[in-house]
């Protein structure tokens, strides 16, 4: 049974760095790719970036300068780090298995950027 | 980036009604070598993560009721619900995975009439 679960702080101060973890079970990170996708309250979905099964990464050009995605295959975890957070980064953050489309999603973690 | 445009943005429906919603892409999603359209549909209910309904424009995921029908090719795609049920009230998103970055449409919200 494939499961993804996001974890991280619910509140981040403006200009600070966001760190999130996606813990994966039921699939291997060396054979599967994982994306981060976010959704501001009441709005649509925005793909942020992906870590491919070979460890390479691709990022959304709009946030590329602030974003880093990495992984620890031994722990089946994928990490997101995004710096210089602003209020417009307030959103639900999801991780999702990425065979092309997004077939398995985590439940999401709500991140609020506020002082 | 490929722009995905969904219409309508919201639709009021009654149970048992047939519903269609549109998704248009700014460039073709049909890959000539394998004749596949790189287009997916997702359903998102309030407070939940999106659920993959259809991939390759028309292939239902396992367990998805056959009232959900995906069609179209190239730049024009349609999701049809043949007979809407109460549990289908949700926001539906299309997404292209033909090119990086993958991009989503703005969504179609199905509401009760």
User: pLDDT (tens digit, 9 = 90+) per residue, B55-102?
Assistant: 999 999 999 999 999 999 999 999 999 999 999 999 999 999 999 999
Q: B50 and A102: CB-CB below 8 Å?
A: yes
* Residue pair A38/A94 in contact by the 8 Å Cβ criterion: yes
pLDDT of residue B54: 98
| Residue of chain A nearest B107, judged by CA positions | A44
Token pair belonging to A89: 């980064």
Which residues make Cβ contacts (< 8 Å) with residue B46, sequence separation at least 6?
B90
Neighbour count for residue A76 (Cβ, 10 Å): 18
Q: How many residues does chain A have?
A: 115
Q: What is the mean pLDDT of chain A?
A: 97
Q: A101 and B97: CB-CB below 8 Å?
A: yes
Asked if the C-beta of B42 comes within 8 angstroms of chain A's C-beta atoms, the answer is yes
pLDDT of residue B111: 95
pLDDT of residue B94: 98
Strands (E), chain B: 4-7, 10-13, 19-25, 30-31, 36-37, 39-44, 51-55, 59-60, 68-73, 76-81, 91-96, 103-104, 108-112
Residues A2-28, mean pLDDT to the nearest whole number: 97
pLDDT category, B51, cuts 50, 70, 90? very high
Distance CA B90, CA B79 (A): 13
% of chain A at pLDDT higher than 70? 100
Residues A22-32, mean pLDDT to the nearest whole number: 97
Residues A17-31, mean pLDDT to the nearest whole number: 97
pLDDT category, B39, cuts 50, 70, 90? very high
Residue A25 to residues A4, A74, B24, B29, Cα–Cα distance (Å): 6, 12, 35, 32
pLDDT of residue B20: 98
Q: What is the mean pLDDT of chain B?
A: 97
Asked if the C-beta of B105 comes within 8 angstroms of chain A's C-beta atoms, the answer is yes
In the three-class reduction of DSSP (H, G, I as helix; E, B as strand; rest coil), residue B107 is classed as coil
The per-residue DSSP string of A27-81 comes to: S-TTT--EEEEEE-TTS--EEEEEE-TTS-EEE-TTTGGGEEEEEETTTTEEEEE
pLDDT category, B25, cuts 50, 70, 90? very high
* CA-based nearest distance B106→chain A, Å: 6
Q: A102 and B42: CB-CB below 8 Å?
A: yes
pLDDT of residue B37: 98
């Amino acid at each position: 049974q494939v499961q993804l679960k996001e974890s991280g702080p619910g509140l981040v101060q403006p200009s600070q760095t966001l760190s999130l973890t996606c813990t994966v079970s039921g699939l291997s990170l060396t054979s599967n790719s994982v994306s981060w996708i976010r959704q501001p309250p009441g709005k649509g979905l925005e793909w942020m970036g992906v870590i491919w099964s070979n460890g390479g990464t691709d990022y959304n050009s709009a946030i590329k300068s602030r974003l880093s995605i990495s992984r620890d295959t031994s722990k089946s975890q994928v990490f997101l780090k995004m710096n210089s957070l602003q209020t417009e980064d307030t959103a639900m953050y999801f991780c999702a298995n990425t065979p092309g489309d997004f077939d398995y999603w985590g439940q999401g973690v709500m991140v609020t950027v506020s002082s | 980036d490929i722009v995905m445009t969904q219409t309508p943005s919201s639709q009021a429906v009654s149970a048992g009604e047939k519903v269609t919603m549109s998704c248009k892409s700014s460039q073709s999603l049909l890959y000539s070598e394998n004749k596949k359209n790189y287009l997916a549909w997702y359903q998102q209910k309030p407070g939940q993560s999106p659920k993959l309904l259809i991939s390759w424009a028309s292939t239902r995921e396992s367990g998805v009721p056959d009232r959900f029908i995906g069609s179209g090719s190239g730049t024009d795609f349609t999701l049809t619900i043949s007979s809407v049920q109460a549990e289908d009230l949700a926001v539906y998103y299309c997404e292209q995975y033909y090119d990086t970055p993958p991009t989503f449409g703005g969504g179609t919200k199905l509401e009760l009439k």
